[in-house]
Amino acid sequence: MNTFWRMKLVLVVFPIFLAVLIVGCGHGGSGSPAPAAPAAPIGVFAVSGTNQATISWSPVTNATSYNIYWGSAAGITTASTRITGATSPYVQTSLTTGNTYYYRVSAVNAGGETLSAETFAFIYSGGIPAGLFTTTGSMATARDTHTATLLPKGKVLVTGGFNATGTLASAELFDPAAGLFSATGTMTTPREYHSATLMPNGEVLVTGGNNPGALASAELYDPATGLFNATGSMSMARSSHTATLLPSGKLLVTGGYGATTAYLASAELYDPATGLFSATGSMATARYNHTATLLSDGKVLVTGGVSVGIRYLASAELYEPATGLFSATGSMTTARYLHTATLLPNGKVLVTGGTGSGSLASAELYDPATGLFSSTTGTMTTARESHTATLLPNGKLLVTGGTGGSGSLASAELFDPATGLFSVTGAMTTARGGNTAALLTTGKVLVTGGGNGSPIVILASAELFQ
C-alpha cells in the first residue's frame, strides 16, 4: 500500500476511533465490569511422541484462551517464547532429541492473564512406538494395594502394600533412565490400602491405610533425603479412603473404612503450612472404595463406593472448598465401587468399570455443566474392577488390568473422548489386578505389582506401556 492510501486510511479510521472513544466515555464507566482474571492452569504436562511433543493441562473454567511459554532453560516467564491461542493437548514439533525443555501455561480472559504456578520440565526422547507393553526391572519386594507416585524429577515412589509376609513399610524408587528400582527410606508405619499424594513442595504425603486395623497416622517422604517423617495424624483412622490435592495446596481426605465406625462420611483437610489435619464438612453418605476427582472449577466430585449394610452406591456429591461443604449432584446410572473416575481434557469425568453385583464393563460421563451422568456411546471391551485408568498426553485414557469374571486380567484398552468408544490396545506381559499405573515424564506408563492367579500370587514385576 503506497503512502497516499495509508494517509487516507488513517484519516478515515481516526475519526471513527475518536467517536467510539467519546461515546464510551459518555457512559461514565457504567458498563459491565471486566471479569476477574482466570485461575492458574494446573496439571501442565509434556511428553515425547513420534517426532513431536504433546503439552497438556487441565481446563480453566473462565478462560477464553491459553498461551504456552517455553524454552530450553529454567525460569520461564511471560518474556519467554510464547505460543498463543493454544488448546490442550497441544502438539509441538522441531525439538532436539535429548534436550530438556521447560513449559508454563497461562489462562487468558478479558480480566487478564494468569500463569501456571509451576514450570514443567521434560527430556525430549525423539520418538517412541505406541501401543505396546514391555517388561522393565522388577521391584525388590512383591506388593499389592500399594501406591506409586511420580516425583518432580521423574522418578516414581512406590510405598507399602502387602504380600505373603504381611503389611509392608518398605518403599522403593523407579528410575526411568535406568529402568530399575532401588530401595529408599522405610515408612514409619507399615500400611496397605493407604494414599500417597505429591504435595506442592515436592514431598509426598502418605495417609491412613490398614495394619491390621485402620490407621489415623500420616507421614511425609522427602525426595531430597529419601526419608519418611511423621506429620500430624488424621482425626479419624481410615483405609480405602480418597486423598485429593486442592488448588489451595491443602489435601482433602474423604470417607474410608474406619476403626470404630466401619463406614465413614467424615472428611478432613491437611494443611502443609501447619502439618495438621482439621475437620471439614461431612459427606451426605458414608462410603469407602469410592473415588474423588478434582474438577476444573476446583470442586471435588465423589462417586459411588460401598456404604452401610454392604450397599453399593450410585450416588455422587460435590465438595466446595470455598464453603467446606458437600452437596448432592446427579447419581450415576449404575451403582459401583472399585471403579475409576478421571478428569478428561474437556472438563467431563469418565467413570469406568468397578463392581456391583459383578464386574462391570459399563462406563459413564459426568458433565459439571449439568450435574448429570450419562452413559458413554460405548462400554469397555472387558468387564473389570480394581483396574487403573491413566490419562495420556494425547487426551486418550489407558485402562489396564484389574480383575474380571475370569480372574486377573492382562488386557488393556483405550478410551477416545472424540468418539466415546473403547478399543483394545496391546496386552500387558502379565495379568494383574490391584496394580498401580503412573504416567512418566517420558510419556510411558509404569505398571507395578498387583496380584495374579488363584490362589493369588503377589507380583514384584513391572512393565511399561508406550
Q: Which of 57-66, 182-191, 418-427 has the highest mean pLDDT?
A: 182-191
Rounded CA-CA distance 77/69 in Å is 7
Amino acid occupying residue 309? G
* pLDDT of 369 over the 90 cut: yes
**CB-based contacts of 118: which residues, under 8 Å, 6+ apart?**
44, 104, 200
Interval 189-212: pLDDT, tens: 999 999 999 999 999 999 999 999
pLDDT category at 130 given cuts 50, 70, 90 is low
The fold of the 133-465 domain, in CATH, is Neuraminidase (2.120.10)
Rounded CA-CA distance 92/362 in Å is 35
pLDDT category at 99 given cuts 50, 70, 90 is confident
Among residues 297, 288, 204, which one has the least CA distance to residue 242? Answer: 288
Rounded CA-CA distance 227/327 in Å is 39
* pLDDT of 8 over the 60 cut: no
The stretch 250-275 carries a mean pLDDT of 96
Amino acid occupying residue 417? P
Helix (H) / strand (E) element for 38: namely: none
Task: For residue 20, list its beta bridge partners.
Answer: none
Interval 418-464: pLDDT, tens: 899 999 999 999 999 999 999 998 889 999 999 998 889 999 999 99
Among residues 336, 341, 352, which one has the least CA distance to residue 300? Answer: 341
Superfamily of domain covering 45-123: Immunoglobulins (2.60.40.10)
Interval 438-451: pLDDT, tens: 999 888 999 999 99
Q: How many Cβ atoms are within 10 Å of 291's Cβ, its own excluded?
A: 25
- C-alpha distances (whole Å) from 88 to each of 11, 60, 120, 394 are 43, 11, 15, 9
- Taking the domains of the chain in order of start, what are their residue ranges? 45-123, 133-465
Peptide bond into 38 cis (omega under 30): no
* Average pLDDT of the chain, as a whole number: 90
C-alpha cell at 100: 530438556
The stretch 363-380 carries a mean pLDDT of 94
Collapsing DSSP to helix, strand or coil, 294 comes out as strand
Question: What is the maximum span of the chain, computed from C-alpha positions, in angstroms?
Answer: 89
